[in-house]
Chains A and B, each alone.
Chain A
Amino acid sequence: MRGGTQPADGEVVRRVLAGEAELFRVLVERYREEFGRFASSLTGDPDSAADAMQEAFIRAYTSLASCRDPERFKHWFFRILTNRCHTVRSRRKQEVPLEGPEPASAARTDARVEQNELRDILARALDTLTEEQRTAFVLKEVEGYGYDEMSRILGVGVDALKMRVYRARDALRARLRESA
């Protein structure tokens, strides 16, 4: 496959199910690359994202036979990954409380301090959202997806997704104003 066209998801899934387990690496590389940022956005850090992705890929492999439409593996896997990200984020939050803004040092510029503070405020504020709101907000605002693409990947109508994003913005606005 090196140097040639990468096989479509459907073909890979069917061949993995037929016994070519090593081909699963094609899907792992493909979607670790594509959804890695989203996993980090949703979990809050790359280590948690790595945990979530590992769990999601293993779960996808062990239940691959239940993927009814192999051509839509991407969307099927995305939902597994989203669930794992929420679980890992919740687990991590119980183990290690999210840190507040780092104390400003003399070497830091005001702009940098503000950036870090805003980042941490938003990170904590995301925890106050429902899982559905957090997923929709991250996809829309952090990852830059359009509503139509979000609808395809999540299997949820555009209007419902807009509502989730709007409610998320309102909640985050309140947190930002409180922290400002």
Chain B
Amino acid sequence: MTDEHQFSPDAQRFLDGEARKSPSTPERDDALLLQRAVSAYANAIERPGPAVDDVVMEQVLRSAARAGRSAIWRWFTGPQEFHIRPALAAAAVLVIAVVVWLPTGSDDPAPTVAPVPPAAAMRSTEGSLVALPDSPRQTALVRFQLQAVLASSVTLLGTFNRWERPGIPLTRTGTDGTWTATIPVPLGEQRYGFLVNGSTWTPDRAAHAQADDGFGRTSSILVVGPRGIAR
């Protein structure tokens, strides 16, 4: 392009719509020709139709769906930071603890005294015990029995209650002077005896074995297995 094709500053201002006077003839003709060409070009312009919108949005939503799937995957597989209110956290822990504890309540090793059907008795003799199988845990239910017609009270002491007085009370169950108590007894060898009227020590004569306790008394011995008295 040579200098002869350059518009003068006046012509440029004229084309910008700022000039107060029109340029000289040759420049003015070229400026008007340029304006006519621009006008013809501008009049022929058509803007793209709204079909563009749908094409774009289809791709945008597809891209968003892909990004969403990968975002979920990243969330599951990546480290996450959580913000939690301490009060809500404590409440959540409490709820979880209750839910976890409730089903195990029945497994509590505390003594369970269940009704004992007589037909389930393993042994039943005067002044003896009857043991019944308990659930396969650390104790078995054992029914202790003593024939004491003139007694006003009978209690049971043994290794399973650390020989602590007054002992575990037996109940008179009939008119023939039979006293009974059914209690959970830890598995293994146990020693025990009865205290009649709170003072008279009486071993269980129906027990499998008797032994001297070293203090001048005789204690009865029983061995409790998971299914009841072993011997």
Contact = CB atoms under 8 A, between A and B. Distances in A.
Bin the interface of chain B by size.
35 or more
A46 B7 CA distance: 31
Contacts of B60: 21, 24, 57-58, 61
B47 to A, nearest CB: 3
Interface residues of A, number: 45
B5 A25 contact: no
B6 to A, nearest CB: 5
B52 interface: yes
B37 A122 contact: yes
Interface in A1-42: 19, 21-22, 24-25, 28-29, 32-33, 36-37, 39-41
Interface in A43-67: 46, 49-50, 53-54, 57-58, 61-62
A173 B7 contact: yes
Contact of A142 (B2, B41, B48, B51): B41
A122 B40 contact: yes
Contacts of A24: 56-57, 60
A68 interface: no
Interface in B40-61: 40-53, 55-57, 59-61
Contacts of A118: 33, 36-37, 40-41
B47 A28 contact: no
Contact of B15 (A21, A37, A116, A169): A169
B52 A176 contact: no
A121 interface: yes
B46 A166 contact: no
A28 B37 contact: no
B34 interface: yes
A28 B34 contact: no
B42 A25 contact: no
B50 A32 contact: yes
Given A25-B53, A115-B40, A176-B30, A40 B1 contact: no
Given A40-B45, A142-B41, A54 B33 contact: no
Contacts of A80: none
Contacts of B5: 170-171, 173-174, 177
B36 A40 contact: no
A54 B54 CA distance: 10
Nearest to A40: B45
B93 interface: no
Interface in A93-130: 114-116, 118-119, 121-123
Nearest to B26: A177
A133 to B, nearest CB: 12
A50 B49 contact: yes
B91 interface: no
Interface string B16-42: 100000000000001001101110111
Given A142-B45, A180-B33, 6 more contacts: A36-B47, A40-B45, A41-B41, A46-B47, A57-B52, A121-B37
4 shortest interchain CB distances as A-B pairs: A36-B47, A21-B64, A50-B48, A174-B5
28 contacts: A19-B68, A21-B64, A22-B57, A24-B57, A24-B60, A32-B48, A37-B47, A46-B45, A46-B46, A50-B49, A50-B51, A53-B48, A57-B60, A62-B63, A118-B37, A119-B43, A122-B37, A142-B41, A162-B12, A165-B16, A166-B7, A166-B12, A169-B15, A170-B6, A170-B7, A173-B6, A173-B34, A177-B5
